[in-house]
Homo-oligomer: A and B are copies of this chain.
């Protein structure tokens, strides 16, 4: 399951997707919309994606994980569109016979997503909006204060 969706993500369904009789561990990562970044208050986020490429790259990350950590199963769902505070933007679930692999693979997935998958978020602040410019969430390259 590697999807780009516009509706709220069902975390339970993503977890179910990776559960199986020989999974001893399932690690999930849920990226949620945070209200405060430093002293700036986010009102909501708008995500957009280059959908076909993003979907293909999520599946490719899943393939790389399967190779690097044999026996793992991965599912990734990323939501786009408008997301309010507290809502899940991405859910990554990795199951594995042993926990070490599930943690490592899950971490790998989110780092790859934040570096390579063509999805962008625009923060709508109390006093403006900003396209977020890199995965470290520190540099923005346009800032249209209203």
Q: B-contacting residues of A (Cβ < 8 Å)?
A: 11-12, 15, 19-36, 85-86, 95, 97, 99, 102-103, 106-107, 110
Contact = CB atoms under 8 A, between A and B. Distances in A.
A35 to B, nearest CB: 4
Nearest to A31: B25
Given A20-B86, A25-B31, 10 more contacts: A19-B32, A19-B86, A25-B29, A25-B32, A26-B29, A26-B30, A27-B27, A29-B99, A29-B103, A34-B97
In the A-B complex, the 4 residue pairs with the smallest Cβ-Cβ separation, listed nearest first, are A24-B34, A26-B30, A21-B35, A28-B28
A123 B95 CA distance: 21
A20 to B, nearest CB: 7
17 contacts: A19-B32, A21-B34, A21-B35, A21-B36, A21-B86, A22-B34, A22-B36, A23-B34, A24-B31, A25-B32, A27-B28, A27-B29, A29-B99, A29-B103, A31-B99, A99-B110, A103-B106
Nearest to A102: B29
A11 B21 contact: no
A99 B12 CA distance: 20
Given A12-B12, A15-B30, A30-B26, A21 B103 contact: no
A102 B34 CA distance: 14
